[in-house]
Amino acid sequence: MEEPSTARDVQGAHRSTRLFPLAASLPATVSFLGSQHFLKFTFQNQEIYWILIYRLVLTHDKEIPTSATAASRRLQTPTKSKVTTQKCRSTSWFNGIVLRIFPSETCAAGLELRQSEKSNATSVKTMKNSKYIWMNGEMVPWESATVHVMSHALHYGSSVFEGIRCYATPNGRCIFRLDAHIKRFFNSAKLYRYPLSFTVSEIETGCRDSITKNDLEAAYIRPLAFLGAGSLGVVPNEDVPTDVIIAAMEFGTYLGEEGLKNGIDVCVSSWARTTSAALPVLSKAGGHYLNAQLIGGEARRNGFAEGISVTARGTVSEGSAENLFIVRDGKIFTPPLSAAILDGITRDAVITLARHLDFDVIEQEIPRELLYIADEIFLTGTAAEVTPVRSVDRMEIGCGSRGPITEALQNAFFGLFDGTTQDHWNWLDSVES
Alpha-helix residue ranges (DSSP H) falling in 68-162: 152-156
Q: Could you give the CA distance from residue 345 to residue 387 in angstroms, rounded to a whole number?
A: 15
For 152, 159, 181, 342, the CA distances from 287, given in Å and listed in that order, are 12, 7, 19, 14
Among this protein's residues, is 40 annotated catalytic? no
Choosing from 128, 190, 213, 284, the catalytic residue is 284
Peptide bond into 21 cis (omega under 30): yes
C-alpha triplet 420, 424, 430: angle, nearest 5°: 80
**How far out from the chain centre does Cα 409 lie?**
18
Concatenated DSSP letters of 144-195: G----TT-HHHHH--EEE--EEEEEETTEEEEETHHHHHHHHHHHHHHTT--
38 Cβ neighbours under 8 A, 6+ residues apart? 7, 10, 32, 54, 56
Compute the Cα dihedral for 20, 23, 24, 27 and give only its sign. negative
Q: Could you give the CA distance from residue 172 to residue 184 in angstroms, rounded to a whole number?
A: 25
Q: Just list the catalytic residues.
A: 284
